[in-house]
Structure 1
Amino acid sequence: MIIKDKKSQPVVFAVSDSIGETAELVIRAAMVQFNSDKVDIRKVPYVTDNEYVEDIIEEAKNTADCVIVCTIILPEVRQHLLSLAEQNQIPIVDLMGPMMDTFSKIIEVKPHLQPGLVHRIDEDYFKKIEAIEFAVQYDDGKDPRGLSRADVVLIGVSRTSKTPLAMFLAHKRLKVANLRLVPEVAPPDELFHLPPKTIIGLTISPEKLFDIRQERLKALGLSTEATYAQLSRIMEEIEYADMIMEKIGCPKIDVSNKAVEEIATSILEIIRKGEV
């Protein structure tokens, strides 16, 4: 028997093999008819393989009062999702399948079966949106699954500009995940299975990091005596991060006294040289 966590409101998974915009719009249009916004809409974009489908089903199985709304074009992935949902008695609404099947009967042209084709009118714009959403979803190691889906993975200790860099590069249409390295938490196994050329290590001088963290604590109104900003702790973190980077064998960039734009330019140069 599956024991589900109790939620304060129903959960609707908006599952798509593109950005999930259509599914979310339909969900919100339906909820207006109930004069209610008391649902937790969880967008799950870029679902293009069966493994990801199985992860979604596992999460839904442990979520009380949930439904899946999907706009998946890829037949194999859509069918896998529908089958698993039925097997696990999870309510699911397939928005695209019936429409595609109906159109196939009246239109003498085979469908392209390409996710996100509706957005190709301004492909560059939507690539940027996709990259920005990716950077947000996989910021600070929130979900290790993002590491294998990223064009670039940034690793380094706290306050080495990983998040600003990820967002900057997202505007260049690059999918960037970032991961903070701390001695007490081992990096996810996924990191060590990536090609080293897809990873960029961000290093910094201990003195510069000390100043940055001191200023950060002051801005938050916290004591500058915190372990986070002690030089001995900083040295320990940097040594650990260097060890991980050496183990991976990835390119490294020293971010000391460099602006985000300058660091991003260095990363783009590495990419252009074919190192990433």
Structure 2
Amino acid sequence: MSVTVRVPAKVNVQLAVGGARPDGFHDLANVFLAVGLYDEVTATPADRLRVTCSGPDAHQVPLDRSNLAARAALALAERHGVTPGVHLHIAKDIPVAGGMAGGSADAAGALVACDALWGTGASRAELLDICAELGSDVPFGLVGGAALGVGRGEQLTPLDVGGTFHWVFALADGGLSTPAVYREFDRQWEGLDVPAPQASPALIEALRAGDPRALAGVLGNDLEPAALALFPALEQTLAAGTDGGALAALVSGSGPTTAFLAEDAASAESVAEALLKSDTCRAVRVAPAPAPGATVIAPAV
């Protein structure tokens, strides 16, 4: 018996960041868009909780109980009085530590897989509640599509998307710590009034209309200056993508992956080729959006 769940990566088409809160988090207006790069999480009965991982950069994924997928299984088991005997295997295709919420997606996938495997019958609301406890990006891994996240990003409102958007992602040779990027953001805004984060009506309308040119004009990431300060080489990658024909470019989340919006599928391939030739990144991925959230693709038998 096993259950396999497929979960998508995300790109933040808008990430508006407020000032630091007393609890250390920041209020956000975070417009998520799920993209067609996926991890697969397979849950199989075992005598104890165990995590394994395969795929690109799998060696960077923690395999102990600090792994978000493991924490998700433990949280569900505790709520339902289940012994958390499960082997979670993560087949990675989402870039690791790349600002695309791969670990958060894996947590959402593990929740759905363990719920199906154990027959806990958790409601969607309960699963979303557990997701929010695990991390700000985890609920979106469950929901997919497009959504506005407020609070620290975990309170989601689904958004309509009227077409397919074509993205290119450049993977950096190196990593960035999300807490370090937020610390740099706070340093850059020290002594200044940080505007309250608000979602852009024009951006939400561009998504609804399925208009890549309109979306390109309103993409935004308030963490980008901080990410570039810590990883200046990303500026060369952003320039290479726009020079290569991308409609717009931005750092994905806290980075260091950079994201490029293309006019169509053919343009995305051209941008990807230009990025590879630029020698400003270690790898390039092309993916459409939106993509569905956590989906069971191989149920228990």
In terms of fraction of residues, the more strand-rich structure is: 2
Tell me the TM-score range normalised by the shorter chain.
under 0.3
Name the TM-score, length of structure 2 as normaliser: 0.23
Higher relative contact order structure (alpha carbons within 8 Å, sequence separation ≥ 6): 2
* Bigger-Rg structure (1/2): 1
Name the TM-score, length of structure 1 as normaliser: 0.24
In terms of fraction of residues, the more helix-rich structure is: 1
